[in-house]
Amino acid sequence: MRHPLKLLALLASLPLSASAGAAELAGPEDVAPGPTIGAAPSKYRPNLRTDFTAYTRPGGRVSMGPLKFEFGPIDEVTIGTYVPPWFAFPFIGAPVPNAYIKVRSWFPGPFTLAVRGGLLFVDGKAVAELADKDASASAMGLAGEVDASYRFGEHFTLSAGLDYNHLSAVGSDEEVATSVEGASTADTWNSRLFAEWKLTKVFSLTFLVRYLISQSPISAEADTNSPAFSVNSDLSTESTGARGRWSAAPGVSFDWEHWELSIGVGYGVVPLPVFGIPTTKNWPLVDFAFAFHFDLYD
Amino acid sequence: MSHRRSVSGAKDSTTRHQARPLGGVAARACGGLATFVVGCTGAADVPAVPDLSGLEESYEAPSAEIGDAPAVQAALGSVPELQELAAAFRAAGALIDPIDDARETAGETSGAGIRVQGTIQIQVRCPGSGSTPVYDAATNGTFTLRLAVQNNTIRGSFGADAEHCLASTRLGETQLPIELDGRIEMDLGGDIRFGQPWTRSHTLFSLDGSITVGAATFRNVSARLEPDRFEFLQETARGSVVLFVSDSGIGLRDQTGTWLCDVDAGTCAIL
């Protein structure tokens, strides 16, 4: 018999877990509304950071990295996906499709507002592989966030964000899974503050602070039937101990014409960006991201 | 807490019985079908549990002082179907065997640093009164338990609802049909902790309904069941006494002591 925590554990064990934090910190960026960074007019459109900010990639820009793939069809919209989950099938028997979309405000000026939504699906086969051979339920992660960024001059940007993540186990192909002990749901609310100080056109100092606002108990409901009786469990689980809520990660980032790299080292609660499920305890955390970007069209 | 009781029906047999587990009720769920429902988040509700401490106290300390053997025999005679009743409650006790399955299942949600709470509902499909169990709820009724889970334990006190639940029990060589109907509150004498072995040794029943065994129907009765002893709280003109059926025989407990009776000889002696 399985349980919801196991499901969370397996999700946490996905290969993307190590890179996801990095992916968020290291997200490629694009042209911001309003004045560009680096005064020199050029065909190259600077790459504003998209993770933890309200910025999107400029229209026509593609960013490819080992962690994320992003494309900006128009200036105000970026779509993307985390790459590692797609290649999880050698380990868990099925790819993990995921995608997100981010839409920012259209108005010019130093203030930018954006919303972002994401979805991730773990097929029942993968759940079965990782949690239990009898399991056939699937898992769904939904993420939404609101970001606001304000540019203080050419070099300093401050962003604040609020994100919500919902993780649930759902029925597989036939809407209702045929096995697994317990559907799992968890809701998490996080807030964050992200500062970027651009010292040169290429090099920036960054600082990210996160605060876990709340994480719901994990809900588990399951029906088990045998000829003689059926058991319906409506249970919830939550941690009994004091949990960490803060994390801080100072870092650096580099933004070349076609390459972007960021790395940060910090400590605190480590969230899985795709799921938003934070660790209970504080841990050292390393964020890393690396990508190549180019313009399909201007 | 008051407990209404009435007894009707005729005595069918005096042979001491051996409880027959309701075949298949304890069948493991692993081979069964589990369906999956997405729950909403938030701490799961914990149902209220009945408080049977007053009834337990009544069993521990009956109020009547019977005083002599004839009065003891008279009190025992007021429930001529005592052994049938004992057999019936032993069969009813077997209906809660799936609690152990639920304990194992729910226990897997817990672990170090994890607190589990909520509800476990078990619907037992009653096996019917035939010699072969037929788990058909439409034909043989159901017995539904609602267990409270709190702090990684299943609360030992809970309620159940029987809807025309048909089963059978054996009294000597005689197989007796049983029908259980109504609301039953039970107390197992302690909570059941996840991840720890559990053996049921004590069950207190308070029935707001009826239990029929053979031709005898008992309404709104209580009973206390232990592995080697069945007890039945009976009101008399002098107060309450506890009638019992044990491996040693039939007897009575009152305020002053325990009487053991020889049914065939018609004698009783205080222990």
Instruction: Please report, for chain A, the start and end positions of each structural domain, with discontinuous segments joined by +.
Output: 4-295
Pairwise CA distance, residues A156 & A150, whole Å: 9
How far apart CA A7 and CA A206 sit, in angstroms, is 34
Which pLDDT does position A55 carry in this prediction? Answer: 95
H-type alpha helices, B78-151: 82-94, 98-107, 137-140
Is residue A269 within 8 Å of residue A40, measured between CB atoms?
A: no
Within the 77-106 window of chain B, which residues sit less than 8 Å (CB to CB) from chain A? Answer: 98, 101-102, 104-106
Please report which residue ranges of chain A form alpha helices under DSSP H: 4-12, 16-25, 89-92, 124-130
Do B125 and A229 count as a contact with CB atoms less than 8 A apart? Answer: yes
CB contact under 8 A, A223 and B36: yes
Q: Which residue in this structure is represented by tokens 């025989």?
A: B249
Query: Is A112 within 8 Å of A105 (Cβ atoms)?
Result: yes
Judged against a pLDDT cut of 60, whether residue B17 lies above it is answered with no
- Which residues in chain A (251-290) have CB-CB distances under 8 A to chain B? 280
User: Are the C-beta atoms of residues A182 and A6 closer than 8 Å to each other?
Assistant: no
Q: Which domain, by its residues, includes B211?
A: 47-270
Q: Kindly state the average pLDDT of the residues B256-268.
A: 85
How many angstroms separate the CA atoms of B228 and B236, rounded?
Answer: 25
CB of A241 less than 8 A from some CB of B: yes
Q: Is residue B139 part of a domain?
A: yes
Which pLDDT score, from 0 to 100, does residue B127 have? Answer: 94
Residue A217 touches chain B, beta carbons under 8 Å: yes
Q: How far is CA A150 from the centre of its chain?
A: 22
Element housing A204 (H / E): strand A203-215
What pLDDT score does B8 carry? 33
Local confidence band at B123 (pLDDT 50, 70, 90 cut-offs): very high
Asked if B27 lies within 8 A of A177 by C-beta distance, the reply is no
Average pLDDT, chain B: 80
Average pLDDT over residues A139-144: 85
Checking if the pLDDT of A281 tops 70, the result is yes
User: How confident is the model over B3-11, as a mean pLDDT?
Assistant: 32
For the segment B18-40, the average pLDDT, to the nearest whole number, is: 27
Which residues from chain A sit within 8 angstroms of residue B108, using beta carbons? Answer: 1-3, 181
Q: Do A223 and B30 touch (CB under 8 A)?
A: no
pLDDT digits (tens, 9 = 90+) for A4-40: 334 443 343 333 333 333 333 223 333 334 334 444 4
With beta carbons less than 8 A apart as the criterion, state whether B184 and B209 touch: yes
In a domain, B19, yes or no: no
CA B13 from chain centre, in angstroms, equals 21
Q: Is the pLDDT of residue B254 over 50?
A: yes
Q: How many domains does chain B have?
A: 1
N- to C-terminal Cα separation, chain A? 55
Taking only the tens place, the pLDDT of each residue in B97-119 is 888 888 877 766 666 667 888 99
- DSSP structural state of residue A278: B
Chain A contact for B194, CB < 8 A?
no
Distance from CA of B181 to the nearest CA of A (A): 18
CA-based nearest distance B20→chain A, Å: 16
Closest alpha carbon within chain B to A216: B42
Read off φ and ψ for residue A175, nearest 5 degrees. 70, -40
Which range (A65-79, A107-121, B19-33, B122-136) has the least confidence? B19-33
* SS3 state at A16: helix
Q: Return the pLDDT at A209.
A: 95
* pLDDT level of residue A274 (50, 70, 90 thresholds): low
At residue B112, the pLDDT reads 61
A179 touches chain B (CB under 8 A): yes
Query: Which candidate in B46, B109, B145 is best for mutational testing of the A interface (most A CBs within 10 A)?
Result: B109
Domain assignment present for residue B230? The answer is yes
Report, as an integer, the average pLDDT of B11-30. 26
pLDDT of residue B3: 37
Q: What is the pLDDT of residue A126?
A: 60
Which of A36-45, A176-185, B145-154 has the least mean pLDDT? A176-185
A165 interface with B at CB cutoff 8 Å: no
Question: Is the pLDDT higher at B189 or at A11?
Answer: B189
> CB of B39 within 8 Å of any CB in chain A?
yes
The pLDDT, as a whole number, for residue A273 is 56
B124 touches chain A (CB under 8 A): yes
Quickly state the pLDDT bin for B53 (edges 50, 70, 90): very high
Residue B201 pLDDT class (50, 70, 90 cuts): confident
Q: What's the pLDDT at A172?
A: 39
Most confident stretch, A33-47, A78-92, B127-141: B127-141
Q: Please, which residues 45-84 of chain A have a Cβ atom closer than 8 Å to chain B?
A: none
DSSP-assigned letters across all residues of B156-222: SEEEEEEEEEEEEEEETTEEEEEEEEEEEEEE-SS-EETTS------EEEEEEEEEEETTEEEES-E
* CA–CA separation, A44 and B85 (whole Å): 91
* Res. A80: pLDDT tops 50: yes
Residue given tokens 């934090």 in the structure block: A21
**Please, which residues bridge with residue A169 across strands?**
A139
The label of the residue with tokens 């919209």 reads: A77
Cα B184 off chain centre by: 9
Average pLDDT taken over every residue of chain A: 76
Closest CA to B60 of B190, B204, B192: B204
Q: Kindly state whether B32 is in contact with chain A, defined as any CB-CB distance less than 8 angstroms.
A: yes
pTM, to two decimals: 0.64
Confidence of residue B28 (pLDDT cuts 50, 70, 90): very low
**Backbone angle region of B70, left / alpha / beta, with phi > 0 → left and psi within -120 to 50 → alpha:** alpha
| Contact status, residue A27 vs residue A256, Cβ threshold 8 Å | no
pLDDT, tens digit, 9 for 90 and up, residues A182-219: 345 578 889 999 999 999 989 999 999 999 888 777 77
Is residue B30 scored above 60 in pLDDT? Answer: no
Residue A255 bridge partners (DSSP): A260
SS3 (DSSP) at B106: helix
Q: Which of B28, B104, B111 sits opposite A226 (nearest CB)?
A: B28
**What is the C-alpha to C-alpha distance for residues B108 and B93, in angstroms, rounded to an integer?**
25
Residues of chain B positioned with their CB less than 8 A from the CB of A240: 113-115
Query: Residue B35: pLDDT above 50?
Result: no
- Tens of pLDDT, residues A240-253: 766 778 999 999 99
Please check whether residue B203 lies inside any domain of the structure.
Answer: yes
With 70 as the cut, is the pLDDT of residue B240 above it? Answer: yes
Of A11-20, B200-209, B213-222, the one with minimum mean pLDDT is A11-20
- Assess B138–A contact: CB distance below 8 Å, yes or no: no
pLDDT at A89: 79
Structure tokens at B39: 């729950």
How many contacts (CB atoms, under 8 Å) link A and B?
178
